[in-house]
Structure 1
Amino acid sequence: MAFEGFPEVCSTGQIAAPDAFGYWEHLVTGALTEVAIAPTVPRPFAGRIRSADFGEVAIGTVAVEGHELRRHRRHIARAGEFHVIGSVVLGGSAQVEHAGHRVELTPGAMVFYDTTQPISWRSDGPIEDLTIRVPRQRVVDFLGVRAEALPAGRVIGGGEVGFTLARFFRRVADLHATDPAAAAVLAAAGIDLLGAAATIAAGREPGRAQAEAVTRQQVLDFVHAHFTDPGLSVERIATGCRVSRRTLYRLVDDLDGGLGALVRRLRVERARTLLAAGEVSSIAAVATASGFGTERQFYRVFRAATGMTPGEYRIVARDGGAAA
């Protein structure tokens, strides 16, 4: 359970046991909302957390040992602003009491919190989750509901919607380290995804724009998962995502160059990584591992994208001069 480069709390190393939970509370308050935290297991406490703030949307990724988290009325009374938080469990389990609901969270499950209300959360072992925090009024306006009708304490069971949101927002968080501007654009676009999940949790049918935002992300996830297959085609993508070709084209009509260009970009990036690492011995093997059907196609596409042949790129990368 490790996130390289995350702020870390460890009662056996960096921070002494008496101070570990105080520091962890400080980190969680900054990334999520003000809470009180206590251990639930006798093992030494350890946790890693990172967060990225994009204005209206803040994203946090956490991996932590078993603990109990509570948001009391005293926290609420001194809060300067309130949020709706969507949380997707990536690993482990937890029990939650919130807004009159008692639920068990398992991998893929997504729960919504309203920070104007108390929260009781407990895990009895290691857990990993991802949270998306949005201003409460923004969600009220987006859903067009009274504040009392927010889906607080309601869960979308473990399944594709939760994992789709988790994959998207984790990608945003990862991109923030290398390209904050691009990450901010993605985060803003992700409000439709979060709105769709909140609508489903509230027991309503998402609108067309919300439903298509989820389906579009599922299409992009499918492409990212299968681009190294030389046989990947529009027909296979449409079948795999259970949409018609016409719908598929409409969902991705804003992509620069369309689906074909996206697949080529992903394959070229994979090839650049493999060539720079030098772990794959032959150019032909790099072509195959990157999803190109033939070595000739690989040379043509790679040179058009980088201005170099794969062999030239490998030499420059080994000398430390290849463009990132």
Structure 2
Amino acid sequence: MDTCSHATSRTVWSSADADASDAFAYWSDVICDTFVGVAVRPGPDGAFEGRIEHSVLDGIGFAELTAGPQQVVRTRRLIGRDHEDVLLANIQLRGHGRLEQNGRVALLAPGTMAFVDSARPYALDFEDDFSQLVVKVPRSRLSHRSLAGATGVELGASGPGRVIADFLVGLNRMQGHDARAAAALLPHAVDLLDTGLSWAAGSAPPEASATALTRERIHRFVRRHAADPRLDAAAVAAGCGISRRTMYRALAADGASLSELIRRVRVSHAQRLLLSRPERPLAAVARACGFGGAAQLHRAFRAVTGMTPGAYRDRRPEAE
């Protein structure tokens, strides 16, 4: 294992680090550690080579992998073991593959992107050598509550979907030489993924409805200003240049109230702080996330995650 010394640390795993007889077993462990728990089966040829370059930027994982033929399967039993609740955005860089999820099949060719929901069974099949960039995003960072309609669908190698894929590929490369700029651009990457999910689900094609665009604008504003304890309906509506009635109507289509959205975004920020700065007092975490105090943080955190902030922070060694 080789760790690069950048502001955003990158870790490189390679099957070459293991004996030839153990190369695929080593690769299988790396895949599970980097993404989610899966069963990995090798292609028909005996020899196998694989390499992953992995980094995490503000809680979002970027993994560029190059490997030989294989099949990757996530079953209900494996889902029950790790309970990962993330979106995997798979961008095909080289070679071809096949993704099956939710009864749909996505054919992966260079330049295409497909979304995978870790909470549902799926299968990936690569018959030849291939390369991918996989972006791993916690569901709590996304505006979309349900990923079912967007998974198992590929966004083509041309058109607006390609713009999103190219942005993510460029952002991944930027981390290696300008981590500060990459961190500044990360919120835009999350916004683009939300838009791509809408397109894949068919709920908002490239000519997205005014309601969908308004909802995305509201979500972006809340994410950027959630740390302000004065954030309320009047501030959000004014910041987005819309009336309160328009704001409430747009959010109603998403099945969430403004207070629920603000609470979810603040708790997501608190989760990142609890893991990255475990020594920080809960009162300081609460202030940094826009809560009125530790008690308010405790209530909101439990409502969103089902556990207390302290219990969540104690899980940190397991996550590492």
Q: TM-score range by the shorter chain?
A: 0.5 to 0.7
CA distance in 1, matches of 2:214, 2:48: 43
* Candidates 28, 33, 37, aligned match of 1:34: 37
Distance 1:211 1:82, change over 3 A: closer
CA distance in 1, matches of 2:63, 2:17: 21
Q: Secondary structure at the match of 1:113?
A: strand
Displacement of 1:138 after TM fit? 3.1
Q: Secondary structure at the match of 1:111?
A: strand
The reply on whether 1:9 has 2:8 as its aligned counterpart is no
* Candidates 13, 21, 24, aligned match of 2:24: 21
List alignment gaps of at least 5 residues for structure 1: 213-324
Residue in structure 2 matched with residue 114 of structure 1 by the alignment: 117
Distance 1:162 1:92, change over 3 A: farther
Residue in structure 1 matched with residue 172 of structure 2 by the alignment: 173
Residue in structure 1 matched with residue 77 of structure 2 by the alignment: 74
CA distance in 2, matches of 1:26, 1:149: 27
Q: Secondary structure at the match of 1:172?
A: helix
Displacement of 1:148 after TM fit? 6.2
Letter in 1 for 2:117: D
Superposed CA offset, 1:3-22 (max 9, x none): x9972434xx5322332122
Displacement of 1:151 after TM fit? 1.1
Distance 1:94 1:31, change over 3 A: same
* Candidates 87, 91, 94, aligned match of 2:90: 87
Displacement of 1:120 after TM fit? 0.9
CA distance in 2, matches of 1:211, 1:87: 22
Displacement of 1:77 after TM fit? 0.4
Distance 1:165 1:42, change over 3 A: same
CA distance in 1, matches of 2:166, 2:111: 11
Residue in structure 2 matched with residue 185 of structure 1 by the alignment: 184
Residue in structure 2 matched with residue 196 of structure 1 by the alignment: 195
Letter in 2 for 1:64: A
Distance 1:20 1:160, change over 3 A: farther
Q: Percent identity, please.
A: 26
Q: Secondary structure at the match of 2:58?
A: coil
Counterpart contact for 1:108–1:162, Cα < 8 Å: no
Q: Secondary structure at the match of 2:182?
A: helix
Displacement of 1:150 after TM fit? 4.3
Letter in 2 for 1:134: V
Aligned CA RMSD, in angstroms, stands at 2.6
Residue in structure 1 matched with residue 47 of structure 2 by the alignment: 44
The reply on whether 1:54 has 2:64 as its aligned counterpart is no
CA distance in 2, matches of 1:114, 1:16: 33
Counterpart contact for 2:156–2:162, Cα < 8 Å: no
Between 1:14-23 and 1:85-94, the stretch displaced more is 14-23
The correspondence of residues 79-158 of structure 1 with structure 2, limited to 5 A, is 79-139=82-142, 142-143=143-144, 145=145, 147=146, 149-158=148-157
Distance 1:210 1:87, change over 3 A: farther
CA distance in 2, matches of 1:137, 1:126: 33
Residue in structure 1 matched with residue 158 of structure 2 by the alignment: 159
Displacement of 1:41 after TM fit? 3.5
CA distance in 1, matches of 2:115, 2:215: 17
Counterpart contact for 2:113–2:165, Cα < 8 Å: no
TM-score, normalized by length of structure 2? 0.57
CA distance in 2, matches of 1:81, 1:134: 11
Superposed CA offset, 1:149-206 (max 9, x none): 4412122123243432332222222222233232222222211111111110001224
Segments of 4+ moved more than 6 angstroms: 209-212
Distance 1:200 1:121, change over 3 A: same
Counterpart contact for 2:83–2:119, Cα < 8 Å: no
CA distance in 2, matches of 1:166, 1:40: 27
CA distance in 2, matches of 1:157, 1:175: 24
- Count of matched residue positions in the alignment of Structure 1 and Structure 2: 203
TM-score, normalized by length of structure 1? 0.56
